[in-house]
């Protein structure tokens, strides 16, 4: 079993839709949970981060972590064509940036105008 599982999609939605992206993980030591957005042929950029369980909202984006189920989600409201990208979940055990991140496979999202 891989440490982090993420459905690669592709996921195609109409503009304005609510998008739900998810990851599951097996390592209960993970404490920090991040979502990155990666445009084609570019490096990942941080969208959201959450420590331990709970919700976090930032504009149209909401990140949820359920440590009991080892399940994390990213919701995008009022999706826009500019949201079309690959979304990667990532996790970290120790909480420090000097420690490695474990990534999911990424979900390719297309938002159609």
Partner 1 sequence: GAVVSQHPSRVICKSGTSVKIECRSLDFQATTMFWYRQFPKQSLMLMATSNEGSKATYEQGVEKDKFLINHASLTLSTLTVTSAHPEDSSFYICSAASGGAAYTQYFGPGTRLTVL
Does residue 110 bind partner 1 (CB under 8 A)? no
Residue 36 corresponds to which tokens in the numbers above?
């990155």
Interatomic CA distance for residues 63 and 34, integer angstroms: 9
Which of these, 7, 9, 12, lies nearest to 72 by C-alpha position? 7
Q: Interface mask (CB under 8 A) for partner 1, residues 53-92, using x and -? A: -----------------------------------x---x
Sites of contact with partner 1 (CB under 8 A): 6, 8, 31-32, 34, 36, 41-46, 49, 88, 92, 94-101, 103-106, 108
């Amino acid at each position: 079993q891989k440490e982090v599982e993420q459905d690669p999609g592709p996921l195609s939605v109409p503009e304005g839709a609510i998008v739900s992206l998810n990851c599951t993980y097996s390592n209960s030591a993970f404490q920090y949970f991040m979502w990155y957005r990666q445009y084609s042929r570019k490096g990942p950029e941080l969208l959201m981060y959450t420590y331990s369980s709970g919700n976090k909202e930032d504009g149209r984006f909401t990140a949820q972590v359920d440590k009991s189920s080892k399940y994390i989600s990213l919701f995008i409201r009022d999706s826009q064509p500019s949201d079309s990208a690959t979304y990667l979940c990532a996790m970290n055990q120790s909480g420090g940036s000097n420690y490695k991140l474990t990534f999911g496979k990424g979900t390719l999202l297309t938002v159609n105008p």
